[in-house]
Structure 1
Amino acid sequence: MDKLFLSDVNPRELPSLTLAFIGDSVYELLVREYLLSSGKRQVGELNKEKVKIVCCSSQTVAYEKIKDMLTEEEEGVFRRGRNVQVNSVPRNSTLKDYHTATGFEALFGYLYLSGRTERVKELFAVIVSSDGNE
């Protein structure tokens, strides 16, 4: 999970929504790898499970599982992402869940762009170990 093109990007200088943009992809890739490792092989089944895990409400649950593990710096990144003004919210999400999911994705984007992929994996392991999903 190495950066291919962004070696000189300083994540502290990026807007929270940009961090969330990257973090969304990082988290989705982790979920896809996790699901593939579970033995399911039908793409339709994999995709259905993935959609359940990466939705805003599931990301809110995931955040609740890791929030007590976060450092002060990580919590600050999360809060910055959570507090971003948004103009619209997906139909199947509450405003609170959408804000929490944005903060969650910003955190994963920040850690990834900071080169802290072991920390990303550590947090993800806690998320999936709690109940086998999200």
Structure 2
Amino acid sequence: MNTNINEVLNSVTKLNAHKANTYSPLALAYIGDGVYELFVRTHVLAKGNMPVNKMHKASRELVRAGAQAKLYHLVEDKLTEEELQVLKRGRNAKSISAPKNADITEYRHATGLEALIGYLYIEGKIDRIQEIIEYGFQSL
């Protein structure tokens, strides 16, 4: 991935004034979902110019809960103790909404991954997000 995404993400985050661990796991997952989507779209776009419908389908495959749950398991043993705690807090968070296209276990694992990404984003650790996501994409 291009370092430009890091520059963009670092420049817009004013959240660094707050400690990431002060946010609820679902709040972390909320922002992590958006950050993850940006990384996915950047990853798909980097594969070359193609029709937008094709890009959307490729992105959708990586953003769905099943793919995020697989990524959760792929990166789990590559995390620091602190990151692992955030991942598990996100996984164990009880959401009011039910998943539409995934079973509850996949949905919870996806939420854990999103919470981790949100946590790292708020902490300003964009390079670490990129490292984790790229490792997962290479292994998928």
For Structure 1 versus Structure 2, the TM-score category normalised by the shorter chain is over 0.9
The answer to which of 36-45 and 108-117 deviates more is: 36-45
Cα deviation for residue 127 of structure 1 reads 1.1
TM-score (norm 2): 0.88
- Residue 63 of structure 2 is aligned to residue 54 of structure 1: yes
Partner of 1:16: 25
Relative to total residues, which structure has the larger helix share, 1 or 2? Answer: 2
In 1, Cα distance between the equivalents of 2:16 and 2:86? Answer: 20
Q: By how many angstroms is 1:21 displaced?
A: 0.5
Give 1:102's match in structure 2, choosing from 111, 120, 133.
Answer: 111
Which residue is equivalent to 1:2?
10
> What SS class does the counterpart of residue 48 from structure 2 fall into?
coil
Question: What is the count of residue pairs matched by the alignment?
Answer: 131
Identity of aligned residues (%): 37
- For 2:107, give the aligned amino acid: Y
Q: How does the TM-score come out when normalised to structure 1?
A: 0.92
CA RMSD of aligned residues (A): 1.2
Q: In the aligned structure 1, how far is the partner of 2:23 from the partner of 2:95?
A: 17
2:10 partner amino acid: D
The answer on 1:41 being equivalent to 2:33 is: no
1:56 and 1:85 map into 2 onto residues whose CA distance is 16
- Tell whether the 8 Å contact from 1:3 to 1:113 is kept in structure 2 after alignment: no
Deviation of residue 3 (structure 1)? 4.8
Q: Does 1:32 align with 2:31?
A: no
Please list every run of 5 or more consecutive structure 2 residues that lacks an aligned counterpart in the other structure. 1-8
